[in-house]
Amino acid sequence: MENLYIKRLTLISDTDKSANQFEFSTRYNLITANDNSHGKSTLAKMIVWAFGCSPYLDHVWLGLNCKVLVEFEIGLKKHRVARFGNSMFLALNGGDFIHYPKITGDYSRVVQELFGFEVLLPNKENTNKLEVPPPSYYFLPFYVDQRKSWVKLWDGFENLQQYSAWQNVVIRFHTGYLTSQHFVYEQKIAEKRVEKLPIAEEVKRIDSAIETIAQYAPQEYIDFAVDEEEFTKLTQEVEVELSELQKSQEINLRAMAELQVDRQYLESQFQLVSEASKELELDYKFSVERIDGDSISCPLCGTVHDNSLASRTSILTDKDDAVRQGNVIADKLGKLYKKIEVVRLESEVVSARIGEINTKYSYEASSNSKPISMLSCIAAKSVEKIVSGSRVVKVVEIEALEAEERQLKKDQRSLVQKERKSTLDDSFTSLLGKYVIRLNAVGVNLSSVKSPLDYNKIFGGGAAEAARGGLAYYIALINHIYRHGSEVKAPFIIDTPNQQEQTHVNYDRIIKMLMDETPENAQIFLGAMNSDQLAGYKDKARVIELDENKVLDKAKFSSLVDAFAFMGNCEEAVST
């Protein structure tokens, strides 16, 4: 696959009336400053933020409400991407901008296709629903964040917890263990599971119907036990005399079973709607009486939620909808209760009519028991046979779908041959071992590291040595992806590698490693404080030296404001 090269970044703050523009080399780039507060990390973050990623940004920067525009190339094609808040703007291959009102959904699908990052992840609430993840998951291995990535590998962005256990799939795709065909099978497997759900629900309904038959059938039915041959003979004997009555009894029992199932369903739905209405009422009171301002911060995850007047009005609207739904369900329940009573009365009439000839087809089970009515037992057993037969059919359908699912999983596993996996494992561990030695991080224990998935098993050494071990992992990972990955290769952005007070000798090793051991066609962005150790890198790099004006410059606002004029009149994306 081709490489992604960042050519130019433009950013502007209408709030602060400031702006700036930066151009980059396709190989080495250095973002540096004499002070650690001049914004080198912020500029590095803006590169990935512009694509829709979620690096950590402090409240001061967020308060500037910046717009960012990035011009980039993939192969011979020139593209542009821009972001303002969570609105995305994308212009492909020299075309006009298209506006996407959110990062997820259509925008993520277009970017996924552009980058060849063909990963699908299961929705956290509905695991049978596969989704295209946002761009953060594509840029993860290529972005080393100063604040998080050195502490925990594969953790450079916020909000990654929106998917459960994503690491295995994302890492294996990046590193060549999985191909797009894996997700074709994943989609088919999910479809089989979705297809199985209503059938399994029907089996539950049938089981409930059988329980209802046992509940509403005559007490004598419990002690009624005949073999299949005897049951057939008895049925034939009463067919002429009681055929209509028997059918009525069967119809009533079946109707009662279905009505009771519907009753249980509607009562549970009514309870859910009632609880939802109460919760919405509490939410509204909380938002009005207990919260000041137009936003609420979640105490669990820190996510800021809208608490504007429109949002509070929306809560009331949702509550009214819940109340209306409750009224509709209550009305349906009232009608259902009446139907149940009608069926019960009809059953009593039928029972009275057959009571006259019941003695003809009765027997005493024992000397101490009253006669057992075989007519009622025959009717109940006939219904049970019909319902049970339907259950058998449904179970067979479920077993067939499960067999297809098992075969799909087997075929999916066969996509990665054992020899291929072994080659990829050896390639990565060989690189990692070499780079640990090159960075003088020999105290880092790699004995449990067998593949890129084992990033949590890299441990040992002091703090500075552990940081060099983490860097060895990242550089091995980048080289491995450039060799074996199938997606477009993104630039390697590494922020402040001088972690944990590295010695001059070890910092020299780090800088030399970035120059000598990164892929020759990889674009490198290095964020670092000015120092003599950077001299060799500086000589070959495009240097962006930030001063006390930081990333934004008020003097450049008027000359760059027109660069974002497209945001006011570009075409809206059509949702698919």
* 162 pLDDT more than 60: yes
pLDDT for position 312: 56
* pLDDT level of residue 366 (50, 70, 90 thresholds): very low
Which letter does DSSP use for residue 555 in this model? G
550 pLDDT more than 90: no
In this predicted structure, the answer to whether residue 292 has a pLDDT above a threshold of 60 is no
Q: Report yes or no: 156 and 145 within 8 Å, Cβ to Cβ.
A: yes
Comparing C-alpha atoms, which of 301, 40, 4, 302 is closest to residue 138?
4
- Examine residue 360 and state whether it is found in any structural domain, yes or no: yes
Q: Same structural domain for residues 122 and 212?
A: no
**552 found inside a domain:** yes
Neighbours of 58 (CB within 10 A): 9
pLDDT for residue 557: 94
In whole numbers, what is the pLDDT of the chain averaged over residues? 83
Residue 423 lies in a domain: yes
User: Phi, psi (5° rounding) for residue 82?
Assistant: -140, 155
Domain boundary among 347, 372, 388: 388
- Of 376 and 563, more confident: 563
Over residues 403-420, the pLDDT tens digits come to 888 888 888 888 888 889
* 107 and 150 within one domain: yes
Residue 186 lies in a domain: no
Picking from 388, 403, 429, the residue at the C-terminal end of a domain is: 388
Number of domains in the chain: 2
Q: Which domain holds residue 210?
A: 205-388
Q: Are residues 383 and 434 in the same domain?
A: no
SS3 label, residue 122: strand
Picking from 344, 369, 388, the residue at the C-terminal end of a domain is 388
Q: What is the pLDDT of residues 237-249, one digit of tens each?
A: 555 556 677 777 7
474: domain CATH number? 3.40.50.300
142 and 257 inside one domain: no
**Residue 408, in any domain of the structure:** no
For residue 400, pLDDT over 60 is answered with yes
Burial of 27 (0-12, 13-18, 19+ CB in 10 A): middle
| C-alpha–C-alpha distance, residues 377 and 360, integer Å | 14
pLDDT score at 374:
56
Q: Tens digit of pLDDT for each residue in 39-56?
A: 889 999 999 999 999 999
Percent of the chain with pLDDT over 90: 43
Judgement on whether residues 45 and 160 belong to the same structural domain of the protein:
yes
Residue 306: its H or E element: strand 304-306
Contact present, 52 and 107 (Cβ < 8 Å): yes
